[in-house]
Amino acid sequence: MISIIIPSYNEEGNVSHTAEVVRKIMEKNNIPYELVFVNDGSSDGTWERLEAMARADERIVAVNFSRNFGKESAIFAGLETARGDACVLMDCDLQHPPETIVEMYKIWKNNDVDIVEGRKADRGKENKAYRGFSLLFYKLIKKASGLDMDAASDFKLLDRRAVDALLRMPERLTFFRAMSSWVGFKTEKVFFEVQEREVGESKWTTRSLIKFAINNITSFTSAPMQIVTVCGILTFIVSLIMGISTIVQKILGESDAGFPTVIVLQLLTSSIIMFSLGIIGFYISKIYEEIKNRPRYIIRDIVRKNDEGESK
Whichever of 208 and 271 has its CB closer to ligand UDP, that residue is 208
Question: Dihedrals φ, ψ of 282, to 5°?
Answer: -65, -45
- Residue 117 contact, options Mg ion, ligand UDP, none, Cβ 5-8 Å cut-off depending on partner type: none
Whichever of 200 and 232 has its CB closer to Mg ion, that residue is 200
* Contacting residue, 12, 72, 93, 154, with Mg ion by CB under 5 A: 93
- Residue 7 contact, options Mg ion, ligand UDP, none, Cβ 5-8 Å cut-off depending on partner type: ligand UDP
Q: Does 153 bind Mg ion (CB under 5 A)?
A: no
Q: Are 178 and 141 in contact (CB under 8 A)?
A: yes
Q: Does 73 bind Mg ion (CB under 5 A)?
A: no
Whichever of 93 and 159 has its CB closer to Mg ion, that residue is 93
Whichever of 215 and 235 has its CB closer to ligand UDP, that residue is 215
Q: Does 14 bind Mg ion (CB under 5 A)?
A: no
Q: Are 21 and 52 in contact (CB under 8 A)?
A: no
Question: One symbol per residue from 171 to 210: x for binding Mg ion (CB under 5 A), - otherwise; what is it?
Answer: ----------------------------------------
What's the min distance (Å) between Cβ of 204 and ligand UDP? 5
Give Dmax (Cα) for the chain. Answer: 93
What's the min distance (Å) between Cβ of 179 and ligand UDP? 17
From the DSSP assignment, how many helices (H) and strands (E) are in the chain? 10, 8
What's the min distance (Å) between Cβ of 133 and ligand UDP? 12
Residues sharing a CB contact under 8 Å with residue 136, sequence separation 6 or more, in sequence order: none
What distance in Å separates the CA atoms of residue 6 and residue 92, rounded to the nearest whole number? Answer: 6
Identify which of 22, 43, 141, 26 has the alpha carbon closest to the alpha carbon of residue 91: 22
What distance in Å separates the CA atoms of residue 172 and residue 73, rounded to the nearest whole number? Answer: 9
One-letter amino acid for residue 2 of the chain: I
Q: Where in 22-51 is the site for Mg ion (CB under 5 A)?
A: none
Q: Does 95 bind Mg ion (CB under 5 A)?
A: yes
Is the backbone of residue 306 left (phi > 0), alpha (psi -120 to 50) or beta?
Answer: left
What distance in Å separates the CA atoms of residue 15 and residue 10, rounded to the nearest whole number? Answer: 9
> Site residues (CB under 6 A) for ligand UDP?
7-9, 11, 40, 68, 70-71, 74, 91-93, 95, 197, 202-204
Whichever of 18 and 218 has its CB closer to ligand UDP, that residue is 18
Q: How far is CA 193 from CA 94, 119, 124, 307, in A?
A: 11, 9, 7, 37
Return residues touching Mg ion (CB under 5 A). 91, 93, 95
